Amino acid sequence: MTLDKEFKIGEIDNRIYGSFIEHLGRAVYEGIYEPGHPSADEQGFRTDVIELVKQLQVPLVRYPGGNFVSGYNWEDGVGPVANRPRRLDLAWRTTETNEIGTNEFMDWAKKINAEVNMAVNLGTRGIDAARNLVEYCNHPSGSYWSDLRISHGYKDPHKIKTWCLGNEMDGPWQIGHKTATEYGRLAAETAKSMRWVDPTIELVACGSSNRHMKTFAEWEATVLEHTYDHVDFISLHTYYGNRDNDLGNYLAQSLDMDQFIYSVIATADYIKAKKRSKKTINLSFDEWNVWFHSNDADKQIEPWSIAPPQLEDIYTFEDALLVGSMLISMIKRADRVKIACLAQLVNVIAPIMTEKGGEAWKQPIFYPYMHASVLGRGVALNSIVSSPKYDSKDFTDVPYLDTVSVYNEENDTVTIFAVNRHQTDTLSLQADIRSFEGYKVVEHIVLENDDVKATNQINRSNVVPHSNGDASVDGGQLTAHLPKLSWNVIRLGK
């Protein structure tokens, strides 16, 4: 591998290390919020969960959905809690108590030092509810909705910067599912009104729910035809899973993500060309993760229950490797992927799990996400890599070495993130890093495990990283052994 200071891909927008909390399963209730829990603060938020989220340094949290938002009346979640209605949530067939709503969530976000990426309902609702929500959240005072917020105890506006125009509107499962033209027109008009209330906001239009949707690419092109001048981002969502228990193929799925990112950039730039526009639309990968372990269990959930254990994937070591590769894929396109949200954050397909009245604990995927978020800030660097390759059921030329580097000029540090996809062999990494004169290895973190199906549970952490990697630098050459099936973080500094 050759790594040079000048091989700049682009400045990383910290928002690519965002996450997501939806009113779904036990994400909100029994996740971030559990009054009566020994660690609950005065508002009922679990401080043990807050501590774990802080370790991840999550800069942005998408809220309140997801599929949930397409049937959500935001007005149900503000004002005195005793007056808030219980509603059927048709997306997840549960009952929503509305105990937590916009203001409480903004309070929680402050406690974890994160911004909120607020989604508006473009399923059952539209322009009016969306512009009112912007006025309620962001307008200082002197209007009906801003004064209502003040009367609810929130004198200062929330100043929410990033907004999603609906969720997965291309999917037939979505409440109020639309064609690309129907959605594109509605999104454009909604965006206009929201911006007329607050011109400083940034807007994300819905792209496809995944790259395998029949309407993929045509959807993006049509939506952007309508919205190009009114939005800043187009969204991408994807979830992977090792359904066939084929590890080589599973670990190669980040190549699908690469292709997805590439195709959306190409489509957005095609519309830019058609419009002779000077503006560039960036990408918001606002849902990504592994999701498949809980699919069968979810079929047993009692309809209309409150905060049932939905989408509670128990992640394995191999999932952590793929999550590492997905992070690498996004950092590699840091020039265009400017927002991303690991879906989700607590209990629901999440790095953090909680036990009612008990412990909060870390899933294996916690670690690559934490390493990237904490150490991956700066400029993404492209490395020239020559790696042995393999073929799998769905992919050809899959490099065993998956890697990207991040250069932080301010701190004089370079962090190399690398996955070894080889199932039996250590990879011997040799990197020419001559442009980083005087840099030494600060730490070589490794996440490895002999059992690819190893999981963590309450009070039993089988999958945890160690810092015993053997990376070293000599005469501008870095050498390191990357164990078979491992996630590596090599930290260099002066």
Nearer to ligand AHR, 164 or 446 (CB): 164
Among all chains, which residue has been given the structure tokens 């200082």?
140
Nearer to ligand AHR, 350 or 401 (CB): 350
Identity (one letter) of the amino acid at 273? A
Specify the DSSP element, H or E, that contains 324.
Answer: helix 317-332
Identity (one letter) of the amino acid at 446? V
Query: Which residue in 49, 8, 2 sits closest to 358, CA to CA?
Result: 49
What is the CB neighbour count within 10 angstroms for residue 229?
12
Minimum Å gap between C-beta 350 and ligand AHR is 10
- Cβ-contact 361, 458 below 8 angstroms: yes
Nearer to ligand AHR, 22 or 448 (CB): 22
Identity (one letter) of the amino acid at 318? E
Minimum Å gap between C-beta 474 and ligand AHR is 46
- Cβ-contact 435, 301 below 8 angstroms: no
In the complex, residue closest to ligand AHR by CB: 66
Confirm whether 168 is a catalytic residue. Answer: yes
User: 23: which residues sit within 8 A by CB, 6+ positions away?
Assistant: 64, 65, 66, 68, 72, 89, 96, 100
Distance CA(167)–CA(64), nearest Å, equals: 10
Nearer to ligand AHR, 252 or 348 (CB): 348
Q: What is the binding site for ligand AHR (CB under 6 A)?
A: 22, 65-67, 167-168, 287, 343-344
Token pair recorded at residue 119: 């989604």
Nearer to ligand AHR, 208 or 267 (CB): 208
Residue 205: strand, helix, or coil: strand
Specify the DSSP element, H or E, that contains 464.
Answer: none
Minimum Å gap between C-beta 344 and ligand AHR is 6
| DSSP-assigned states of every residue in 137-156 | HH--SSSHHHHHHHHTT--S
Size (the chain), residues: 494
Token pair recorded at residue 212: 């395998």
Q: What does DSSP assign to residue 302?
A: P
Token pair recorded at residue 379: 């400029």
Minimum Å gap between C-beta 117 and ligand AHR is 13
Nearer to ligand AHR, 20 or 33 (CB): 20
Alpha carbon 346 to chain centroid distance? 12
Burial of 299: CB neighbours in 10 Å, binned 0-12, 13-18, 19+: exposed
Nearer to ligand AHR, 344 or 354 (CB): 344
- Cβ-contact 233, 280 below 8 angstroms: no
> To 5 degrees, how large is the angle CA 11–CA 267–CA 91?
90
Minimum Å gap between C-beta 293 and ligand AHR is 13
Minimum Å gap between C-beta 173 and ligand AHR is 7
Minimum Å gap between C-beta 287 and ligand AHR is 5
Confirm whether 312 is a catalytic residue. Answer: no
- Cβ-contact 316, 462 below 8 angstroms: no
Minimum Å gap between C-beta 74 and ligand AHR is 17
Minimum Å gap between C-beta 146 and ligand AHR is 29
Nearer to ligand AHR, 67 or 138 (CB): 67
Minimum Å gap between C-beta 343 and ligand AHR is 4
Distance CA(424)–CA(450), nearest Å, equals: 10
Distance CA(384)–CA(387), nearest Å, equals: 10
Q: With helix as H, strand as E and coil as C, how does 401-460 read?
A: EEEEEEEECCCCEEEEEEEECCCCCCEEEEEECCCCCCCEEEEEEEEECCCCCCEEECCE
Nearer to ligand AHR, 116 or 433 (CB): 116
Instruction: Exactly one of 75, 135, 168, 318 is catalytic; name it.
Output: 168
* Radius of gyration (C-alpha) of the chain in whole angstroms: 22
Nearer to ligand AHR, 7 or 239 (CB): 239
> Which residues belong to the active site?
168, 287
